[in-house]
Structure 1
Amino acid sequence: MSDNTETSGMDQIFDRALEQNPHAAELLKAFRPVMTRQRQLVESLTLPALDYSAIDRDRLRAGVPILRQIPLFSPEDPLEKIALSLAEAVREGMPKLTQEMDRLSALIAGGKLRLKDSLEALPAGGDGATQPRANDLAFSPSNASFLWSLTARVLLERRGREAAQALGPFDWEKGYCPVCGEFPS
């Protein structure tokens, strides 16, 4: 699917959501540029190839998500490029976060805040790696975690598509994500 078709589809979804949920208009307008940018990045990024042959279909069927079987983040992943692009989208949709996104973008672009280090240091289900760096570099850990989660989602969604293609037809009957193991949000 082309970027224009994908963007057009996203526009239709947002327009319909705004029409059906006028009470959530501000929230939808805030997240529209972020989600649109995520979609564009998922479709357009060139990522290093991973070896999906190590995924054990029996373990997956038993409920062990792909993320617990193989590393889905590569040292060559363009995390900084993704984060800087998403920070721009956050600025557009959430102008009150502009100053914080500018600060985070400057730290990322200047090499003082390396997303690879932050993602590798994250404990399962937490954001503890952000706090010590936040104290040293004077940024909001919650805003950094927000940007990290947006960035990780782009990579995990793309890796999930690649894994699905590598696995071929596969029934999934669990109530959570087969890629990361999280429940829908």
Structure 2
Amino acid sequence: MPTPAALPNYRPHAKYVLMLGAIAAVPAISTDIYLPSLPTVAAELGASDSAVQLTMSGMLIGGAVGQLVYGPLTDRFGRKAPLLVGLALHVIISILCAFAPNVSVLIGLRVLQGFCNAAASIVAISVIRDRFTGAPAARLLSQLMLVIGVAPLFAPTIGGFIASIWD
């Protein structure tokens, strides 16, 4: 059976683009949904603003290192297993972040969270690279970037809403 890229008029469904976009947007959502809570986190943990801001930097550093690790892992073990492990660990670490006793532990957990959610963006791009080439790949990547670009617009609003409900 020919690959989708080999079919001349194959166009991925909107569900396909949204699914890949949702997977790829996990790191952006994880970063931006947390922003409205920074002052509250600083107050509750008795930490300085700069220490709490390190949780953001830590997540970005973890994500950068995670991409270097997950890339070869997805090439070696396929796309599904590293994605599921990365997302499962991301969820577990997110729950642990909610119960962090101090800012140092929170910084460490956020680094791990960034490392684990790097699997999402790596797998989304890899799936496109695996199934498409040329103009169809470029078109799908641009649609994917559009979905990823929308995530930071809504995530802080959702984060503020969640913070207002659970204080």
Establish whether TM, by shorter chain, passes 0.5: no
* Bigger proportion of residues as helix: 2
User: Looking at both structures, which has the greater relative contact order when contacts are Cα pairs under 8 Å and sequence separation is at least 6?
Assistant: 2
